[in-house]
């Protein structure tokens, strides 16, 4: 009688382990299916597989805070309007100011944290990049963070993009929506 009970307990434990593994497998597949669906919808709506970035600094305060999640729309799906154009035409306001906020690769480098700043105006090759500034080596955008304390100069005047206008091909997309605080989770994993 004791050996039958041990055999039944052993079968019961094995069945529970198999049931747990099946349940875990279903959960993992459900999460993967959800992620795949999210990525497909993101590609359709925003034109990017991963349309979200976490704000890592206070350079865009007060309109974007460190730890915000920002949804980005692919630049190929947007007509980029600068701050200057927006002011001239009473054009769109984006995140509290005229013109679009763009996400771009500094110096066009891959694998570097992109910058999210406002496109202030466009310059052509040979034009001064700002009043009494150096001539632009090529056509591109002059950019700047919205924070009046930490960003009182254009990116092209400082270390972010020194004397280098932002080329069209460096722009990943335009900021569209903001979810406050959620990006802190992402920043924890990246050590920021």
Read off the pLDDT of residues 61-80 as tens digits, 9 standing for 90 and up: 999 999 999 999 999 988 99
Q: What own/partner pairs with CB < 8 Å and gap ≥ 24 does 121-128 have?
A: 121/82, 121/83, 121/84, 121/85, 122/82, 122/84, 123/165
Specify the number of domains making up the chain. 2
Same domain for 71 and 37: no
DSSP string of 153-192, one letter each residue: S-GGGSSSSTT-PBPGGGEEEEEEEEESSTHHHHHHHHT-
Give 103-136 pLDDT, tens digit per residue. Answer: 999 999 998 999 999 999 999 999 999 999 999 9
Range(s) of the domain holding residue 141: 52-190
Q: Could you tell me if 12 and 41 lie in one domain? A: yes
Phi/psi for 141 (5° steps) reads -100, 145
Query: Does one domain contain both 110 and 29?
Result: no
pLDDT tens-digit series, residues 140-188: 999 999 999 999 999 999 989 999 999 999 999 999 999 998 887 777 7
């Amino acid at each position: 009688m004791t050996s039958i009970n041990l055999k039944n307990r052993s079968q019961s434990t094995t069945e529970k382990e198999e049931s747990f593994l099946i349940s875990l497998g279903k959960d993992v597949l459900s999460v993967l299916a959800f992620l795949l669906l999210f990525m497909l919808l993101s590609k359709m709506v925003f034109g990017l597989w991963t349309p979200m970035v976490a704000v890592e600094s206070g350079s865009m305060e007060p309109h974007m805070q460190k730890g915000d999640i920002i949804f980005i729309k692919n630049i190929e799906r947007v007509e980029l309007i600068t701050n200057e154009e927006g002011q001239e035409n009473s054009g769109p306001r984006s995140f509290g100011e005229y013109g679009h906020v763009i996400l771009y690769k500094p110096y066009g480098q891959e694998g570097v944290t992109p910058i999210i700043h406002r496109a202030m105006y466009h310059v052509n090759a040979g034009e001064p990049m700002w009043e009494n500034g150096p001539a632009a080596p090529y056509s591109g955008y002059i950019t700047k963070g919205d924070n009046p304390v930490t960003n009182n100069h254009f990116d092209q005047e400082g270390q972010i993009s020194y004397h280098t206008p932002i080329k069209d091909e460096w722009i990943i997309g335009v900021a569209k929506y903001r979810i406050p605080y959620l990006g802190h989770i992402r920043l924890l994993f990246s050590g920021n």
